Amino acid sequence: MPDDDIRRNCIAVIPAAGKATRISPLPCSKEIYPLGLSAGHDGRQHPRTVCEYLLEKLARAGINRVLVVLREGKWDIPTYLGNGVQQGLNIGYLLARQPWGAPYTIDSAFEFVAGNHVVLGYPDILFDADDAFDKLIERQVQHGAEVVLGLFPGDRPDKSDMVATDPDGRVLRIEIKPAVSSLRWTWGIALWTPRFSRYLHEYLKSHAPREKKSRELFVGDVLQAAIRDGLLVDSVQVSSTPYLDIGTPEDLQRAIGRFISP
């Protein structure tokens, strides 16, 4: 599929159903926590929230259809973002069907994206590569992979999926939050085809948690299963700077220091 066709066909899925327990209490959902200022259409400076950094990068890449998957109670997100017109996007909202983690949240959008390419971005992750989604699209066009992962330097392996690739960038395995790792790269964004959306959907049908003590299933688990089952999972380095996840107090402080000028 040509580059421009993928952009027109693509839908961004943004999982925003988490409870942010590690940085609670907050006065708002963490996805719309103010983090800096930006110029509005009226020429004035306005608060710039965490998720708007991601939305701006999607808009730059020509990906203008966005589905935000929420849980009950996070109504401040659609109240603040609205239909996306201020960002040049068309934003819709869904409720997560299962409270079992990011793969299930993402799969809540399956019926809406089943025939489309999907880009995945996390609304609480900040990164500085404005062309990151362009690189994903270009790589998918070149290699035809079912999944393309956008790689960042992995400076905190215990909080990341560390990615092992061959010299051509094909993903060989994923180490999920290892205490230590010899691997250098982690993934923070992704692009995948309708085939992987179907794979994710079918995989989750047989992997519902059977008890409360079960380890949370991560997207990395599904990616590792897809590699095992023969799907081509590719990668491209999109930044030379580690991303920032604002999910803990110390990381939020790092983000404030990086994105808010003194």
**115-143 per-position pLDDT tens digit:** 999 999 999 999 999 999 999 999 999 99
pLDDT at res. 2: 60
pLDDT at res. 1: 60
The phi, psi pair for 229, rounded to 5°, reads: -90, 10
Strands 233-237 and 185-192: unpaired
pLDDT in tens, 36-51: 877 666 777 778 899 9
pTM: 0.92
Judged by DSSP in three states, 261 sits in coil
pLDDT at res. 62: 94
pLDDT at res. 125: 94
Q: Which residue has the tokens 């035809």?
A: 144
pLDDT at res. 157: 92
Strands 65-70 and 233-237: unpaired
Q: Which two tokens stand for residue 22?
A: 């590690």
pLDDT at res. 99: 79
pLDDT at res. 184: 96
Residue ranges of the chain with per-residue pLDDT less than 50:
none
Residue 105 and residue 99: Cα distance in Å, rounded? 7
pLDDT at res. 249: 81
Q: For the beta carbon of residue 209, count every other beta carbon within 10 angstroms.
A: 15
- C-alpha distances (whole Å) from 29 to each of 49, 58, 80, 93 are 10, 21, 10, 15
In the chain the domains, ranked by start, together with CATH numbers, are 3-259 (3.90.550.10)
Residue 157 and residue 179: Cα distance in Å, rounded? 7
